[in-house]
A = this chain, B = another copy of it.
């Protein structure tokens, strides 16, 4: 990065956005159920020579789709509990390790989310979020449209923070992925498909599980549209 001077002679730092088409994309996807349709759609293969440390359950699928090197990275099954390693800690770790190992031009955090009907969200809607915030860190919190916390439910304290975040969708990974991508100066976008209405009447686990498969198909279509859109473009054109 060459130092430039602005019209007052002050030195300013040039932000280096590559002037070439986007080449490598990393999807960060928390659950296997969310990842599988996209792995199939882009015809990716699971990598056996891991770029990750020995013993971690993280899974990477990769392959060529159009002009893009597509990677899908998931945290895999928790070695003790046997469930998908959802939440912010795993998401931040795989985002960090993936950016370090693969140096992507773009990170896409795709997944399911809760939506707020008060903000117009319906089951199956897919949101492209540009702003994220945490809602279960009760230390000063910036505002945002996607709100992230480590619980599937919403307790009253979290609800207050989500309202303050002016959120339309609520997930369990986005703000952690954003934090790490920002730390490592990597562009990131968020694609969140609504599986359940947070401010509705039905219990979240029931609604989430019932809609998961159908909504994942909507997510799959949206992700494909995004990938088709970015194919051949520079980052500055997004």
Do A180 and B139 touch (CB < 8 A)? no
Do B184 and A56 touch (CB < 8 A)? yes
**CA–CA, A149 and B156, complex, Å:** 16
Per DSSP, chain A at the interface is: loop
> What is the total number of copies of this protein in its complex?
2
Chain B residues near A183 (CB-CB < 8 A): 55-56, 79, 93
A105 CB, nearest partner CB in chain B, Å: 17
Complex interface: stretch among A19-27, A34-42, A84-92, A214-222: A84-92
**CA–CA, A135 and B79, complex, Å:** 20
Q: Which of A132-165 contact B (CB under 8 A)?
A: 134, 136-140, 142, 149-153, 155-158
Interface size in chain A (residues, C-beta < 8 A): 37
Check if A194 is an interface residue, CB within 8 A of chain B: no
Check if A9 is an interface residue, CB within 8 A of chain B: no
Chain B residues near A53 (CB-CB < 8 A): 100, 184
Taken residue by residue from 71 to 88, chain A's Cβ proximity to chain B (1 for < 8 Å, 0 otherwise) reads as: 000000001110000111
Check if A185 is an interface residue, CB within 8 A of chain B: yes
Taken residue by residue from 47 to 85, chain A's Cβ proximity to chain B (1 for < 8 Å, 0 otherwise) reads as: 000000101100000000000000000000001110000
Chain B residues near A157 (CB-CB < 8 A): 155-158
- Closest B residue to A53 by beta carbon equals B184
Question: Which residue, of A56, A92, A176, has the highest number of chain B Cβ atoms within 10 A?
Answer: A92
- Closest B residue to A160 by beta carbon equals B155
13 contacts between A and B (CB under 8 A): A55-B183, A56-B183, A79-B183, A80-B142, A87-B137, A89-B92, A89-B176, A89-B180, A136-B149, A136-B150, A137-B150, A155-B155, A156-B157
